[in-house]
Amino acid sequence: MPTPQSAIFRQGLRAHEHLEFDLKPGVSVDAVRAAFAQLKDGGIVQSAVAGFSERLWRLLAPATEIPPGLAPLASIHGTAGTMPAQPHDAWLWLADRGPDLNLDAGRQALAALAPVLTLAEDTQGFVYRDGRDLTGFIDGTENPSLEEAPGVALIADGPGAGGSFALVQRWRHNLTRFQALSQEEQERTIGRTKPDSVQLLDLPPTSHVARMVVETAAGELKIWRRSVPWGKASVNGLQFIAFSADPQRFVLMLQRMYGAAPDGLADRMLEFSQPETGALYFVPSTEALLRWVKG
């Protein structure tokens, strides 16, 4: 299998920045390649995660490197309302030991990409306490182990082998409303205990855990989550990042969350958090990425 972008699985970095871009009208393929070649020469491509929309990846890569299922994220309509989808063309995830290092890398990336891409979103994230969401619950408990993660996240063979699909959403929390609940009610909303993230024995069917578990004939569908909190005292939430070898897993989970699955039930967390953005990107293998960013 080709080599995945290593930062997908890198652990222990507490500062994160997510940049999303739109392709400028009329720019040439050569100009886009030249812009990203500057990131390669500066070492950013090798240390960050770079993802691309269907439109941009089809422009840059041959058909042999277009994975099946690559398409823009679509809005989902269910009993809980409509999930927004705001497709962008490129995503750059910077992660390092501190925000100062991300700032330097981010400014370099913006300067290099400015001729061909317009910045659409810039979200700074961080690790909160011992890996908790701002609600106080441990985040990512359902994640596979680091050893199992490549089998969940990476396309094993065929077009796009070694690459992954990434779902990127910025969720805004209403912490005041959530924290007005008793701890027992918070736990029933999430489906886990707050101190130690033990799944409730009497799991409410509208709890977040219950809605995110998708069982198929082949077993439970898994994704590789790399989410972090974002924001400041006045406004904050979760920058949801997840990788999968199959984008349909995201669709099934989001349908269950929004009440668009056959049972019509919705995730109660939607009463306390709403997505502001939503896009799907293809994250090519390192070899595929470096092939087309040659200057």
pLDDT in tens, 255-284: 999 999 999 999 999 999 999 999 999 999
Residue given tokens 């701002």 in the structure block: 134
Tell me whether residue 146 is exposed, middle or buried, using C-beta atoms within 10 angstroms of its C-beta: 0 to 12, 13 to 18, 19 or more. Answer: exposed
Domain 6-292 - what CATH class? alpha beta
Q: What is the pLDDT of residue 292?
A: 79
Q: What is the pLDDT of residue 1?
A: 78
Q: Please check whether residue 270 is in contact with residue 278, taking contact to mean a CB–CB distance below 8 angstroms.
A: no
Regions of the chain where pLDDT drops below 70: 294-295
Q: What is the pLDDT of residue 46?
A: 78
Q: What is the pLDDT of residue 294?
A: 66
pLDDT digits (tens, 9 = 90+) for 185-230: 999 999 999 999 999 999 999 999 999 998 888 789 999 999 999 9
pTM of the prediction?
0.97
**Residue 89 falls in the annotated catalytic set:** no
Q: Please check whether residue 18 is in contact with residue 88, taking contact to mean a CB–CB distance below 8 angstroms.
A: no
Max alpha carbon distance in the chain (Å)?
Answer: 58
Domain locations along the chain: 6-292
- Given the residues 100, 139, 196, 263, select the one marked as catalytic: 139
Task: Please state, as a whole number, how many other Cβ atoms lie within 10 Å of the Cβ of residue 284.
Answer: 28
CA 175 to chain centroid, in Å, comes to: 22
Nearest by Cα to 218 from 190, 241, 246: 246
Which DSSP string do the residues of 170-192 spell out, in sequence order? EEEE-HHHHHTS-HHHHHHHHTB
